[in-house]
Amino acid sequence: MARRFTDDRLVIASHNRGKVREIADLVAPFDVTVVSAGDLGLAEPEETGETFAQNAALKALAAVAVGLPALADDSGLVVPALDGAPGLHSARWAGPGRDFDLAMQRVERELGTGADRRAHFTCALALAWPDGEIAEFTGEVHGTLVWPPRGDRGFGYDPMFQPAGHDVTFGEMDPAAKHAISHRADAFRKLVEVCFR
């Protein structure tokens, strides 16, 4: 049984503003004050894990150095027709400037015409405490890739990902609607059930 979260402050172990905003929205109902690793000036640890869960744990454990519990997410776009790429390297495909327009172009170029366009987003969440205890949860959302990208909401690969059962991309979707079905929301529901309820 994972540990219950009883603190009133939480570090979101990320420098990605879109991700920090999304996670902050998800924890808002629990009266938790959040601060990002970026705001605290914490360095981003090298992501040397071989899975999303390992990378999330590395980031969470690095952020607890400030003496507060930390929640980290490692997530990415998995395209079976590209042998799972960009996967763990989803952010790296955007280059040092985090240009996801370039990353989406690369996905489209490598897919080529006639390829299987099924894809899914995976999210691993790791909640770590300063004493080293950690709880991990994983979520997924499945869909297809569209081209050209559509919408300017969301971030990352959202404009080219159309979730199953919907006719709009994550880039076009109202943020509240995305929160209800996203890979991060799926993982977060599991975390809340175990650690916050």
Beta bridge partner(s), residue 127: 71, 135
Residue 190's closest CA among 73, 55, 33, 34?
73
Identify the band that residue 16 occupies on the pLDDT scale cut at 50, 70 and 90.
confident
- The tokens describing 37, both together, are 């690793």
- Tell me the C-alpha distance between 47 and 104, whole Å: 22
% of residues, the chain, pLDDT over 70: 99
CA distance 34 to 13: 10
Query: Could you tell me the two tokens for 25?
Result: 């929205």
Measured CA to CA, the distance from residue 84 to residue 107 in angstroms comes to 11
> Mean per-residue pLDDT for 21-36?
87
Separation between Cα atoms, residue 124 and residue 45, nearest integer Å:
16
Q: What is the predicted pLDDT for the residue at 17?
A: 82
**β-bridge partners, 122:** 76, 140
Closest CA to 74 of 119, 41, 28, 122: 122
Domains and CATH numbers, the chain: 9-196 (3.90.950.10)
Q: Which residue in the list 8, 25, 39, 74 is annotated as catalytic?
A: 74
DSSP 102-125: HHHHHHHHHH-TT---EEEEEEEE
Q: Which residue has the higher pLDDT, 154 or 4?
A: 4
Catalytic-residue membership of 99: no
Average model confidence (pLDDT) across the chain: 93
Instruction: Please say whether the dihedral angle defined by the alpha carbons of residues 156, 159, 160 and 162, taken in this order, is positive or negative.
Output: positive
Check residue 145 and give its pLDDT.
98
Letter for the amino acid at 41? G
pLDDT at residue number 1: 60
